[in-house]
Amino acid sequence: MKLKLVTLAALVMVLLPVSLSAQSGTAVTIPQAQLMQPEELNQLLASPAANKPLVLQVGSHVMFTESHIKGSEYVGPGSQDLGIKALQDRVQKLPRTSAIVIYCGCCPWGRCPNIAPAFKALTAMGFTHVKALYLANNFGADWQSKGYAVASGD
């Protein structure tokens, strides 16, 4: 019994830091001031204003192909090195004051593996007007089901 407790304690000590470090890279780490509500983005995209943000989907390509925000571009999953590289390549030549909105919507906000790494990459590049679209539940529930403009395909 004593050996099992020692083994269990050792396992907890190994896994706890992994769990905590994974949590530090989730969407909940993005500052509240950098979040954009779906209603706000929908209104912005529907307005005749010429200065609309660049909207980038940083999640799954399958999800993007199935349904995405009309006018948005797919750059790759923010949780993968290739996705971050594609994101950096897409924005590299833009002025650092460009308005950029990123979104994923793969799962509930607190569990999204893609949005925080993408946000971090953009801010590390010096972009000062980056917003993360706050999709509390997922893309279907928080955007599509509200009747906001969507498209499908690449």
| Domain extent listing, the chain | 27-151
For 82-132, write each residue's pLDDT tens digit.
999 999 999 999 999 999 999 999 999 999 999 999 999 999 999 999 999
Best CATH choice for the domain 27-151 from the list 3.40.250.10, 3.30.1360.150, 3.40.190.10, 2.60.40.420? 3.40.250.10
Please give the C-alpha separations between residue 141 and each of 19, 61, 88, in angstroms, as whole numbers: 28, 18, 29
The 3-state secondary structure of 119-133, one letter per residue: HHHHHHCCCCEEEEE
Supply the pTM of this predicted model: 0.83
d(CA 135, CA 139): 6
- C-alpha–C-alpha distance, residues 87 and 123, integer Å: 12
- Model confidence pLDDT, tens digit, residues 16-39: 333 333 334 678 899 999 999 999
